[in-house]
Amino acid sequence: MSKSSPHLIALACGSFAIGMTEFTMMGILPNIAHDLTIDIPSAGYLIALYALGVVVGAPTLVLLSANYAPKKVLIFLMGLFVLFNGLFALSPNVELAMISRFMAGLPHGAFFGIGAVVATQLAPPGRSAQSIAIMFTGMTIANLIGVPLGTYLGQQVSWNSTYALITTTGIVTIVAIQRFIPNLPVPARGMVFKQLTYFKTREAWMMVAIISVGTGGMFAWMSYIAPLVTEMAGVPTTQVPVIMVLAGLGMVVGNLLGGKLADSVPPHLSVIISWSVMIMCLLLVYFTAEIEFMAYIMSFLTGIASFSISAPIQMMLIRSAKGAETLAAAGGQASFNLGNTLGAYLGGLPIAMGLAFHIPSLVGVGMAFIGILLVLINQLLQKKEIATPNH
C-alpha cells in the first residue's frame, strides 16, 4: 500500500459498517420478526426499505452536499448512519424499526460515491482502481467476518446487540475519517447543476441498465445459495456458514483482483472479463450442483468472479461523468441495489414454478450475458458519437 493508505483504511471502515448493516439482516430476520411480533415476510420489508433508502438517498444526498468539503460530508453521512442504526437497535415496535431502516439506507450510496472520488483523487498514478478496491474491501470483509459475527450475536444474544455493534463501527469510522482523511477543497460553485446534467446523457442511463442487470446475475445465485447447497448437493445445514465464509473469502480476493485488472486494461474490458468469468462459474455451479465437494469449491470461485466487478464498474461510472463523478458513483450504488432486488426476484421465479434450486444460476448467466451486451452496445455508441461531427 502507498503512504496515503490510512485514508483508505478510514473509507474501508465505513464500507465494512455499511456492509454489515445491509447483509446481516438476512441471517437474523426470524429473530427480528419474533421480537417485533410480525411474520417473516413482513420482516422482509426491512430489507426492501433499506434498499429503497439507498436508491432515494444516493442522488439526493450527493446533490444536497455538492457544495461542501468531502471530508465534512463523509462525517455527516456516517453521523446519519450512526443515528438511524442506533434508533433501529432501540426500536420497540415495527413502525419505528421500518422508518429507521429506510433512513439508515439513505447515506449508503452517497458514502460510496463520495468515497470513491476521494479514493481516486488521493491515489498514486495508475492506482485509482486499486484504491477504490481497497475501500470496497471493507464490504467484502464484512461478508467474511462481520456478517457471521452479527448473525451469531443476533441468534445467541439479541438482534439489538447486533445493531448496537454496527452503530459502534459507524462511530469508529467517524473518528477514522476525522483523523486520516485530508481536507480536500470544496467543489466549485454550480456543481449541483453540472452534476444534474449527467442524467440528461445517454451514457448515464446505459450505466444504470448495465449495473442493474449485470450485477443482478450475482444476486440470482447468492440469494438462493443455502437451499442450493443443502437440497441439491447434500451439504449439511450445519455447514452452510462454511459455504458463506468461502463465498465471502472469494469476494475479498475477487475485489482486489478486479482493482488490479481495471488498472491494467480499460475498465469496460475489465467488466466484460469479470462477467465472462462469472458466466463460466455459474454454468459450473449448474452442472455440478449435485456434487457435494464442488459446492465448497464453487462458492469460493463464484465469490471471486462476482466481486471482481466492483472496482471496474466504479471506474466506468467515474469516467462516464466528467464533472459529475460523485453523483455517478453514488448512482452506481443505487443501481447495484436495484440489481440486488431484480436478481433475487428473477432468480426466485423458477423456484416458485417448482423448478430445482440450481435453475437460478442459469438466470444469473442470462443477466450477466445481457450485462456484457449492454457494455458492448455502450462502447459502440460512444465510438459512434466520437465519430459524429459537431457532437
On whether both 219 and 158 belong to a single domain, the answer is no
On whether both 197 and 255 belong to a single domain, the answer is yes
pTM of the model: 0.79
Phi/psi for 313 (5° steps) reads: -70, -35
Of the three residues 124, 156, 186, the one that is the final residue of a domain is 186
On whether both 173 and 47 belong to a single domain, the answer is yes
Of the three residues 144, 170, 186, the one that is the final residue of a domain is 186
On whether both 175 and 222 belong to a single domain, the answer is no
- Rounded to the nearest 10 degrees, what angle do helices 128-141 and 240-264 cross at? 170
Tell me which residue of 313, 362, 320, 353 sits closest to 336, measured CA to CA.
313
Count up the domains in the chain and report the number.
2
* Residue 54 and residue 112 in contact, taking contact as beta carbons nearer than 8 Å: no
* Residue 111 and residue 78 in contact, taking contact as beta carbons nearer than 8 Å: yes
The CATH number of residue 304's host domain is 1.20.1250.20
CA gyration radius, the chain: 20
On whether both 164 and 209 belong to a single domain, the answer is no
Task: Give one word for 235, left, alpha or beta, with left for phi > 0 and alpha for psi -120 to 50.
Answer: beta
On whether both 39 and 159 belong to a single domain, the answer is yes
Of the three residues 158, 186, 214, the one that is the final residue of a domain is 186
Residue-by-residue pLDDT tens, the chain, 391 positions: 444 488 999 999 999 999 999 888 877 877 888 899 887 667 777 887 888 899 889 888 988 888 889 999 999 999 999 999 999 999 999 999 999 999 999 999 899 888 988 998 888 888 888 888 889 889 889 988 998 888 888 888 999 999 999 999 999 999 999 999 998 887 665 566 667 787 888 888 999 999 999 999 998 898 788 788 888 999 887 787 788 889 889 998 998 899 899 889 999 999 999 999 999 999 999 999 999 999 999 999 999 999 899 889 988 887 888 777 777 878 888 898 888 888 888 888 888 888 998 999 999 999 999 999 999 999 999 888 777 755 4
* Residue 309 and residue 214 in contact, taking contact as beta carbons nearer than 8 Å: yes
Distance CA 357, CA 177 (A): 43
69: containing domain: 1-186
